[in-house]
Amino acid sequence: MGGMRTKPHSFSSIFLLFLALSCVSTAQRPNPIKTIVVLVMENRSFDHMIGWVKKSINPAINGVTGTECNPVSTKNPGPKSICFSDDAEFVDPDPGHSFEAVKQQVFGNSSIPSMTGFVEQALTISPNLSETVMKGFRPEAVPVYATLVKEFAVFDRWFSSIPGPTQPNRLFVYSATSHGSTSHVKKQLATGYPQKTIFDSLHENGKSFGIYFQNIPTTLFYRNMRKLKYVFKFHQFNLKFKKDARAGKLPSLTVIEPSYFDLKGMPANDDHPSHDVANGQKFVKEVYEALRASPQWNETLLVITYDEHGGFYDHVKTPYVNVPNPDGNTGPAPSFFKFDRLGVRVPTIMVSPWIKKGTVVSGPKGPAPNSEFEHSSIPATIKKMFSLSSNFLTHRDAWAGTF
């Protein structure tokens, strides 16, 4: 080969090669996420739990400044009002969050959401509660969330699926409907709700899932989850979660259920008032550290959200126009709710090594012009991420934004 010299690549040819490689569509690249871990906590609004991170951590977050106030009466708004403060602490009694209470909180004395009725509604329960619902935690009081918001992603426009209490909203998380429920219907909870779930879709497509619970798995409120074929999908959190994480054996969809009740030697850690949020912070840290140490870490996405706002103030107006009814069901008398508006905004944090530090996600890009992030975004994203062949569960997850 003696004196032969290869022709050097020109700058333009190298540039064109680079351009061609960089133009490979995202759809053609392998999806790095193989495991989605979902943890749904209880009854706290975005502003109440992490609204103050705006001032001390990231001004781009749609949080609070302290200028947000509610009148004592929306019917006779005068000079008397209560403004949002940063001295939240132990909460007891539990603020109102029934369908009727949320309507008063969101609409006040208006026909459109004004977010001015929180104080007025709280006063119907207890005189002291009117200040409680207008308080948020300083970031140093919720240090685990403050750190995760700083290091990973916060969604500052994620809403509960309906303006109502816990179980109807939890039903939306994995089935995109509450099958007409706007409250806790004990008979229906005992019988089990009949709708198809994302667990069924995963099973049909040969994908794995597992429920890691502490004292009761609320996922058993879906009737299908009581079938014999799913019996080995349920695991005691304390016995199995860390073991599976260490072994790299967490399933494609890993659901973690917090402890909903105080038991001897095991305090509740779900954040539901009057439970101590310090226990919730400790629990989230425990889950995060188990995932971080797992061989699956580089292919994992952790989703932390709250079922509903629990009666605590939030300043972001609830979407109420052209929200699709999931399945044609309507709520019971006297409201006959059409499931055509969302609930109050809730804290949502996502954690993964693939997330850029300090990410703030404020709204989805489609699939509809008015799509929002809400609990139905979870099954919608699971369907998309795992390329499930099943149809959407309802009209709601077909509409919800995906992350």
Residues of the domain holding 168? 32-63+139-399
Q: Is residue 171 part of a domain?
A: yes
Rg (CA), the chain: 23
Alpha carbon separation from 189 to 135, 170, 178, 193, 325 (Å, rounded): 33, 12, 11, 7, 21
pLDDT of 3 above 60: no
Provide the mean pLDDT of the chain.
93
Q: Is residue 98 part of a domain?
A: no
CA distance 223 to 196: 9
Q: Is residue 361 part of a domain?
A: yes
Alpha-helical (H) ranges within 108-250 are: 118-123, 129-132, 143-151, 166-175, 186-191, 198-204, 237-247
Which residues are CB-neighbours of 323 under 8 A, at least 6 positions away?
339, 340, 341, 342, 370, 372, 399
Q: Is residue 180 part of a domain?
A: yes
Q: Is residue 175 part of a domain?
A: yes
DSSP 146: H
CA distance 131 to 118: 10
pLDDT of 104 above 70: yes
pTM, 2 dp: 0.92
Span 258-283, pLDDT tens digits: 999 998 888 999 999 999 999 999 99
Alpha carbon separation from 305 to 9, 45, 61, 119 (Å, rounded): 52, 10, 16, 25
CATH of the domain at 145: 3.40.720.10
Q: What angle do CA 100, 315, 379 make, to 5 degrees?
A: 70
The domain total for the chain is 1
pLDDT of 5 above 70: no
Q: What is the pLDDT of residue 28?
A: 55
Q: What is the pLDDT of residue 84?
A: 98
pLDDT band at 77 (very low <50, low <70, confident <90, very high): confident
Contact 119, 134 (CB under 8 A): yes
Separation of first and last alpha carbons in the chain? 56
Q: Is residue 182 part of a domain?
A: yes
Q: Is residue 10 part of a domain?
A: no
3-state SS string over 205-223? CCCCEEEEECCCCHHHHEH
Q: Is residue 292 part of a domain?
A: yes
